[in-house]
A and B are shown apart, each in its own frame.
Chain A
């Protein structure tokens, strides 16, 4: 009996079964994570730039940073809500919180974070447009208390870290999906925030000093390089757990997500890395904007791939 026959003799095949669920968390959760990375990333990268450079070197950062964050966070919250099958019951998270759930903790933190960013946006926007709401009492009060912006900012930066990373804990709590492990996903979420945070700010950095733009290019290059390294580590060397190996088969050669995965790697990581690295020596603003756009697209594709492949294998 040759080896092939032995394998055939032990072959087990499902001959009758019910329809199993397909993708449970789909594009809305991908969009949710992607938008949250932008919302927290611009704050983290903005804080780094404000630490390194004078405000005058980045004239529009004070109000564009909370504006981009506010828009992205609202996209994130909107799609979080839309993905619920009972969205009106979202209030139960606040009325009946279950604190062992990262979903609960994340929802509370993200809500507080969005509230603080909204306040910062209101203050900075009223400074930016001094004629707006001149007779409004709310606007007047906010203008008088504009010092709050500086007071709130450290808390917002501190909160941006857990807000960007809590989805990794949700993924880790999803015990059924072995691909998602807390240590790797926490770090990947952080890199993702720095990637799209720097990419988003690159799109509004035309009037910034060359040094500030150079820092943005450096953050982009480092974050995509490290994140890409982690993806490659998982791609090539995650062969210890049978379930992880079965999951990764979807992105390996011949897998149904192979093209999407490599498109994500090329657009989101390889192209931006070489452009950003080149821009550290000789700046090319057009190419940097191109890299920023490909980073945003690539990260969405990467997150989509990583979210969906563990949902492809049957659990029972």
Chain B
């Protein structure tokens, strides 16, 4: 069994449902993304078009991240998924330097490398990855590429000549395919990425890798004595609406006096 992924870019409408589903399913922290949908505008007015390109880990058969990881935190599962064991990761960022697709990030909460695992925990239970379930137009197709009868294999066969992978010249043998993509969408050097406030958001880069408030000293102390930002755990976000209500209520009460 070799699990693979295919995105039909002709179907994708850029709703970002997959992005949100991935964030929720995997509790991906703010400023980090396992899956993102990039908008690229092509041409000049009035001859313009907008393309939407979902980008995630390619689960390469010859993955540079697995090769460079010094402690086997990145490893293959039997089904071909390139999985990550965050508890073993030393945070050297070698995988971030090696991945040609920029698919790995340093989790700002755990300060370890993390990435898309094709929702290995869901796959293990016989479920589809969260992004596949969320896609309203079934642009995401997931399955066993070694099984000729699987949906993904048949889709690849039906679209022969139009199936592409990103950066094939890197010889990573990605297991993530695209239908309907072009050089302008799949090759990051073929489109301009102008930093600054654009059409929708501020296109920028991260100022820090991992937790920006995690000083060098924290890196040694936190694993022994606990994190310095425990008050920013998930619980605090869950409590937030109540706190806001209470704050608002007390403020209002205060105002009445």
Contact = CB atoms under 8 A, between A and B. Distances in A.
A104 B47 contact: no
A10 B205 CA distance: 26
Contacts of B206: 19-22
B69 to A, nearest CB: 6
Interface string B195-220: 00011110111110110001010011
B112 A85 contact: yes
Interface residues of A, number: 51
A314 B102 contact: yes
Nearest to A312: B205
Contacts of B98: 173-176
Contact of A85 (B111, B192, B224): B111
Contact of A89 (B89, B194, B201): B89
B93 interface: yes
Nearest to A105: B70
Interface stretch (A44-52, A92-100, A221-229): A92-100
Interface residues of B, number: 68
B80 interface: no
B159 to A, nearest CB: 23
Kindly name the residue among A19, A97, A243, A313 whose own CB sees the greatest number of chain B CB atoms within 10 A. Answer: A19
B205 A21 contact: yes
A103 B94 contact: yes
Nearest to A96: B71
Interface in A11-40: 11-22, 24-25
Kindly name the residue among B69, B70, B203, B223 whose own CB sees the greatest number of chain A CB atoms within 10 A. Answer: B70
A107 B205 contact: no
Contacts of B103: 316
A90 interface: yes
A9 interface: yes
Contacts of B198: 14-16
Interface string B163-192: 000100010100000000000110011111
Interface of B: 31, 33, 36, 38-44, 47, 50, 55, 64, 67-72, 88-94, 96-103, 105-106, 111-112, 166, 170, 172, 184-185, 188-194, 198-201, 203-207, 209-210, 214, 216, 219-220, 223-224
Top 10 nearest A-B pairs (CB, nearest first) are A85-B91, A315-B102, A12-B191, A16-B39, A175-B64, A103-B70, A12-B184, A85-B111, A316-B102, A174-B97
